Chains A and B, each alone.
Chain A
Amino acid sequence: MEKVLPDKSGYFGIFGGKFVPETLMSALKELEQVYNKAKRDKSFQDELKYYLSEYGGRPTPLYFARNLTEKLGGAKIYLKREDLCHTGAHKINNTLGQALLARRMDKRRIIAETGAGQHGVATATASALLGLECEIYMGTEDIKRQALNVFKMELLGAKVIPVSSGTKTLKDAINETIRDWVANVRTTHYLLGSCVGPHPYPMMVRDFQSVIGKEVKRQIREKEGRLPDYLIACVGGGSNSLGLFHPFYDDAVKFIGVEAAGLGIRSGRHAAPLYVGEIGILHGSKSYVLHDSNGQILPAHSVAPGLDYPGVGPEHSFYKKTGRADYFVVTDKEALQAFHLLSETEGIIPALEPAHALAHLRKMTKDTNKNEIVVLCLSGRGDKDVEIVKR
């Protein structure tokens, strides 16, 4: 069945929409039109497919993690190896798609926000490939935490612009990118890195990331002859998780999203808007957010820079409200333990973001049995995080 969400106005139920300064409205409309056309255009889809496979390394393996399965003693665990994508995370699926669109719109300048630096690196990569000018906004706190990725972006010819306002992390990097876009919208494409922001971004990024779930569907049928029981992924803005989930929307498959509990939900220092947030408006869409009693957005916290964000994509809010997915939280400490667990049992060093999904998997396997199948999105590799873990 073809998914009808979001509706024409960009709503998933009551979530989504376009809450932006008027200056951006015509650019959003143009993007929506160009994207909708490209979606049906075989030459665009072929070109994207070409780059995803020949350049990006797709399809990525669906790996049966035998050691981890034995160790945890529950459901059969498959890892979707997005860590093996070019640049080391799922982010490239979206940046290749949007960079090709930017070229179609004849926008030669690309701007983007980045938290972990993975989206920044993937954007710089796609820009280098397609000969586009590229500037990346990154919070000074994240620049410190993810120095390796900053260096990579520069090697790729991008300019990294430090953001020292507000929280000095992803939230304020997005603010700064939007301000740049407001000023340069005629010549510039904002290559947003997750399923957040105003319509059509949440839909478009999800569609580009859906290649993850589509491959999983085919691969698991080949390997097991059936669909999995559970899909599990970490949720920052929601792009790797929705990329995995969305193609299974109409199937009897449980969706499990894992948010960052940081230092613990009760400490107030976390990044779990789905788990404990309220409905609000942040960065162009209506969704769950972390805010105080006066509607001021609260700073988030997570050891994983890619999850360190007080908002979440509207489609996840819809899944939560309708019960289509269940959401859980994992602390910094639990994520770090899972980081070591996967490294030691499977010889795969995961990024700290999917280490959150792993940590929850570890907790939930006791409630599963050996006949069940779970697919976890291993959204990125951990090279970028070894400095954090060493500390």
Chain B
Amino acid sequence: MNRIERKFGQLKREGRKALITFITAGDPDLDTTFGLVLEMEKKGADVVELGVPFSDPLADGTTIQRASQRALNNKTKLKDILKLVYELRKKTEIPLVLMSYLNPVFKYGLEEFAKTCRMMGVDGVIIPDLVPEEAEEWLRVARLNELSTIFLAAPTSPLERIKKIAGKSTGFLYYVSLTGVTGARDKLNSNIIEALRAIKRVTNKPVACGFGISNPQQARKVSRYSDGVIVGSAIIDLIERSSTRRAILRNVGNFVASLHHKMVGDYNASRKTR
């Protein structure tokens, strides 16, 4: 059992939902990323996803595109991100998930990458342009190295297919809340609750929901029907708007705390009524 599985197990026992935060590694630089992971954990993040910047992020909206570009502008490389995880592991046991498009991983070498992930302390990998049909080789090396592979399911995926995707996923299943690219949205997709209920009926794996979730109210609402929420672009918007490292840490820390409180507030309330 790796850290992701343990975390979801623990949350389940506590009746809590996972707050999963996403930032692009190297945006605006790797030192800040290091600080942000620790700060987000302190303020209530349960799992952190680190985005590997890519020249052609075709599932991403403008916010993450720009973050990716900033990270590439200062030459952030996959191997530096893996080293960063190694450094983080000296300080924290928070589950860490790398999110990378396939090509940087492919160029690194699937097996070499999986091995290094394990050595450095990565717990899981999300590859948004790798669907289960194409993932045989990756799944083999990921399993060998006890890495979770988190696949995505989308509103356009038929339920039968979602069941299969969930079957291939380890750690958790990532449900994409909307038909579109990443990016903070004012409104949640209206079908989201229905969709999550249906998915929970076809899988026992934890289901985390992301894309578009931008404020504590939305996070709370979605967390009621899932096992976790993923917030990315809204955090990156804050990083982009903050001018110093201190401001970044403070603003992101406050925001993560507000997400956490809203979600945990719900949990506390439900505990009282029990």
Asked if A159 lies at the interface with its beta carbon under 8 angstroms from chain B, I say no
Most buried by B among A25, A165, A294: A294
- Are A23 and B102 in contact (CB-based, < 8 A)? no
Q: B174 to chain A: closest CB distance in Å?
A: 9
Name the B residues within 8 Å of A369 (CB-CB).
none
Asked if A179 lies at the interface with its beta carbon under 8 angstroms from chain B, I say yes
Name the B residues within 8 Å of A282 (CB-CB).
56, 103
Most buried by A among B130, B131, B153, B155: B131
Name the A residues within 8 Å of B134 (CB-CB).
17-19
Asked if A21 lies at the interface with its beta carbon under 8 angstroms from chain B, I say yes
Name the B residues within 8 Å of A281 (CB-CB).
101-103, 106, 129
Closest to B78 in A: A294
Name the B residues within 8 Å of A25 (CB-CB).
131, 154, 156-157, 161
Within 8 A of A (CB), among B113-130: 128-130
- Are B65 and A23 in contact (CB-based, < 8 A)? no
Q: A140 to chain B: closest CB distance in Å?
A: 16
Q: Classify the secondary structure of B's interface with A.
A: loop
- Are A183 and B129 in contact (CB-based, < 8 A)? no
Asked if A162 lies at the interface with its beta carbon under 8 angstroms from chain B, I say no
- Are A27 and B131 in contact (CB-based, < 8 A)? no
Asked if B104 lies at the interface with its beta carbon under 8 angstroms from chain A, I say yes
Name the A residues within 8 Å of B57 (CB-CB).
175
Asked if B59 lies at the interface with its beta carbon under 8 angstroms from chain A, I say yes
Most buried by A among B58, B103, B128, B158: B58
Q: Given the known A-B contacts A295-B78, A295-B103, are A19 and B58 also in contact in the complex, defined by CB atoms under 8 Å?
A: no
Question: What's the A-B contact tally at a CB cutoff of 8 Å?
Answer: 112
Q: Which listed segment binds A: B3-11, B87-95, B176-184? A: B176-184
Name the B residues within 8 Å of A9 (CB-CB).
133
- Are A23 and B154 in contact (CB-based, < 8 A)? yes
Asked if B105 lies at the interface with its beta carbon under 8 angstroms from chain A, I say yes
Name the A residues within 8 Å of B77 (CB-CB).
294
- Docked pose: A105 CA to B64 CA in angstroms: 33
Name the A residues within 8 Å of B55 (CB-CB).
166, 296-297
Name the A residues within 8 Å of B180 (CB-CB).
23, 182-183
Q: A278 to chain B: closest CB distance in Å?
A: 8
Asked if A61 lies at the interface with its beta carbon under 8 angstroms from chain B, I say no
Using an 8 Å CB-CB cutoff, how does the interface string of A267-300 with B read, 1 for contact, 0 for none? 0000000000010111110000101011111000
- Are B107 and A22 in contact (CB-based, < 8 A)? no
Name the A residues within 8 Å of B131 (CB-CB).
18-20, 22, 25
Name the B residues within 8 Å of A182 (CB-CB).
58-59, 179-181
Name the B residues within 8 Å of A166 (CB-CB).
55-56
Name the A residues within 8 Å of B153 (CB-CB).
22
Name the A residues within 8 Å of B107 (CB-CB).
278, 280, 291, 293-295
Within 8 A of B (CB), among A1-40: 9, 17-27
Using an 8 Å CB-CB cutoff, how does the interface string of B37-78 with A read, 1 for contact, 0 for none? 000000000000000001111111100010000001000011
- Are A295 and B104 in contact (CB-based, < 8 A)? yes
The residues of B with any CB-CB pair to A shorter than 8 Å are 54-61, 65, 72, 77-79, 101-108, 128-131, 133-134, 151-158, 161, 165, 176, 179-181
30 A/B residue pairs, CB under 8 Å, sorted by A: A17-B134, A19-B130, A21-B58, A21-B129, A22-B152, A22-B153, A22-B154, A22-B165, A24-B156, A25-B154, A25-B156, A27-B156, A166-B56, A171-B56, A178-B58, A179-B60, A184-B179, A185-B179, A186-B156, A278-B107, A281-B102, A281-B129, A291-B103, A293-B107, A294-B78, A294-B104, A295-B106, A297-B55, A297-B56, A297-B103
